[in-house]
Amino acid sequence: MDQLDDDDKLQEELSPEIEEPTGSLDEQPELETELNEPAAENVLPDDLDFGVIEAGPADEESADGRAWYVVHCYSGYENKVRHNLEQRIESMGMKDKIFDVVVPTEEEIEVKEGKRRTVERRVFPGYILVNMIMTEESWYVVRNTPGVTGFVGMGNTPTALRTEEVATIIKRMEAEAPRIKVTFKSGERVRIVDGPFNDFRGTVAEIDMERAKVRVMVNFFGRETPVELDFLQVEKA
């Protein structure tokens, strides 16, 4: 299985010494790293599918005040940021305020050059999940972690995920069957890589995501013939 954990090989300058933070929750400091990228907005882009993410009410916190929050970081550095944050939690004695740091991943099967392979894919590139009790101190620890650009929320107020949103994410991570990566869309040319029509080429007529089936129009004896195939039986031509 190809793993996407190469982040641990990144340059050591992404882990600068921890500085004492200043300001308050309403005055989020800009992160100073060697990365010359602009800080991202602390809102979710429209095309990022967390299920049904909306502003969660305060009562989404558990009895002891802990809740799950979405933290934005530099895309591709999710595992490095998680490692940095876990080190800060340990060194700054915050285990009683910050409990879990998760990079949501899922297994995905893709077909490339006629070969199938299973890869571990980040569910939400550029985001990590943190289970914590939100206080001034815990906020500083997370917000000042190298690679973090901010919490997702309304304005400067971090927004906790709702219980059903967390359950949806966990369900995706624990799914027994890997997701199948679809690299084609309706109207595109594809090549059949398995079955009786192996190496035939055709045009995608219909994609059924629920059944993981695709209908391809194949020229068979001079006539366009619809052929129903599994996603893994075709690849983009």
pLDDT of res. 182? 80
Higher pLDDT, 175 or 190: 190
Q: Tell the residue number behind the tokens 């916190």, with chain if given.
A: 61
| Phi/psi-derived region of residue 210, left when phi > 0, alpha when psi is between -120 and 50, beta in every other case | alpha
Q: pLDDT for 5-44, tens place per residue?
A: 444 443 343 333 333 344 444 444 333 333 333 333 344 4
Q: pLDDT for 71-117, tens place per residue?
A: 999 989 999 999 999 999 999 999 999 999 999 988 887 766 666 77
188: pLDDT confidence band, cut at 50, 70 and 90? very high
Higher pLDDT, 62 or 136: 136
DSSP of 155-175:
TTEE-BPPHHHHHHHHHHHT-
d(CA 121, CA 51) in angstroms, rounded, equals: 17
pTM of the model: 0.58
User: What is the chain's mean pLDDT, rounded?
Assistant: 76
Look at the alpha carbons of 194, 195, 198, 201 in this order and tell me if their dihedral is positive or negative. negative
Helices then strands (H, E): number in the chain?
3, 14
127: pLDDT confidence band, cut at 50, 70 and 90? very high
Q: Tell the residue number behind the tokens 């080190």, with chain if given.
A: 87
Checking if the pLDDT of 198 tops 70, the result is: yes
Q: Where are the beta strands (DSSP E) in 113-222?
A: 115-122, 127-133, 148-151, 153-154, 157-158, 179-180, 189-192, 201-208, 213-220
pLDDT of res. 13? 36
The answer for residues whose C-beta is within 8 angstroms of residue 45's C-beta and 6 or more apart is: none
How crowded is the C-beta side of 118, counted as CA atoms within 13 Å? 8
Percent residues over pLDDT 70 in the chain:
70
Mean pLDDT is lowest, of 57-66, 131-140, 165-174, for 57-66
pLDDT of res. 64? 80
How crowded is the C-beta side of 145, counted as CA atoms within 13 Å? 32
Structural domains in the chain, sorted by start: 6-180 (3.30.70.940), 189-236 (2.30.30.30)
Cα angle, residue 41 at apex, residues 37 and 46 outer, rounded to 5°: 115
